[in-house]
Amino acid sequence: MASVPGIGPKRFGGLISKFGTPQKVFSASSDELSSVPGMDRRVITSILQGGDRRWAREEISRMETKGVDLLTISSKLYPKRLRQIYDPPPLLYLRGELTKGDNLALAIVGSRLATVYGRLVTERLALQLAKRGITIVSGLARGIDSSAHRGALQAGGRTIAVLGCGVDVIYPPENEGLMNQITTSGAVISEFPLGSPPEAGNFPQRNRLISGLSLGVIVVEAGQRSGALITAQCALDQGREVFAIPGNINARTSKGTNQLIKEGAKLVDGVDDILEELGMASNPSDDSPPPKLEGDEATLFELLSSDPIHVDRIIRQTGYSSPQVLSLLLSLELKGLVRQLSGKLFVRA
């Protein structure tokens, strides 16, 4: 049925609702098919011709070769929350594994051109949510999406990547390693056939799955025309919660998120805000208290914040020697209190 031109999620749902199974759809007469709302002569003719059985056989062979699973909408493993949206995909291609625990999921999305602030906030949020047993859903794009997946993986939690191409297509190319990590700690899914390229028109369609899998969508950074805003609108259409992280009013990547807040999205600056809105008890004990710092470590740590600072500036402000500063920073990194960014920049973890 998926091979029949013109049968998308809505028509597929209408046909199954009417006839019960794909087999009965192909056994139906022209008059019976015409009785289904939204059907036209071209699609009916294609159904009567039996669909592209050769393509279906070859697709199954490709899946077996590449280790890809296929979930139909009638499968017990098909995500329960996704099945409830207006136009659920009839087929889901899957690398990795979906579990019942993934019903407790939140999406984190945002700009591909994320700032350092946006990436840090995203990783921290994803990590803290994953520690509380929440699956993180995102789109594996550059920027905020990638940071969301990484944060969940750092916590040893689960994450789901929803693609706008085939699950056998690496996009963006630099995320190959991240994609492989996700398949062992979650799932990579798509409704597009194997080999489908990442065409621009696929991504708005993909975004409804990101929100559909989730209890709510958290938008970290988004420009005024960001795809993340499409995901937020999908969430609203599906009755999901929308959260937004406030940003610098002068930054282009904050225009969309700040507008969402104006329009009623829940402003959040931490995990507790999100859990409270969803009616989920927060458990602060999940976060271990930071180690107590003394002496030179405490002095240096006080200089750091979520804003990146160059190592040379740290040396100047502390008056310590370069080897001493590098040794202190390494010690703080090993304690999980400091992160090093590219360009010898450091921030609080």
Q: What is the pLDDT of residues 155-190, one digit of tens each?
A: 999 999 999 999 999 999 999 999 999 999 999 999
pLDDT at 286: 47
- Residue 281's pLDDT is 61
Whole-model pTM? 0.81
Mean pLDDT of 306-322: 88
pLDDT at position 153 over 80? yes
Distance CA(27)–CA(39), nearest Å, equals: 16
Q: Averaged over 8-27, what is the pLDDT?
A: 89
Angle at 234 between CA 98 and CA 120, to 5 degrees: 70
Judged against a pLDDT cut of 90, whether residue 202 lies above it is answered with: yes
Phi, psi of 123 (to 5 degrees): -60, -40
Q: What is the pLDDT of residues 100-130, one digit of tens each?
A: 999 999 999 999 988 888 888 999 899 999 9
Q: What is the pLDDT of residue 226?
A: 82
Pairing of strands 266-267, 241-244: parallel
> Which domains does the chain possess?
1-51 (1.10.150), 100-286 (3.40.50.450), 295-348 (1.10.10.10)
| Mean of per-residue pLDDT scores for the chain | 89
Q: What is the pLDDT of residue 294?
A: 82
Query: Is residue 280 over pLDDT 80?
Result: no
Higher confidence at residue 343 or residue 216? 216
Measured CA to CA in angstroms, residue 198 lies from 100, 192, 229, 304 at distances of 29, 10, 19, 40
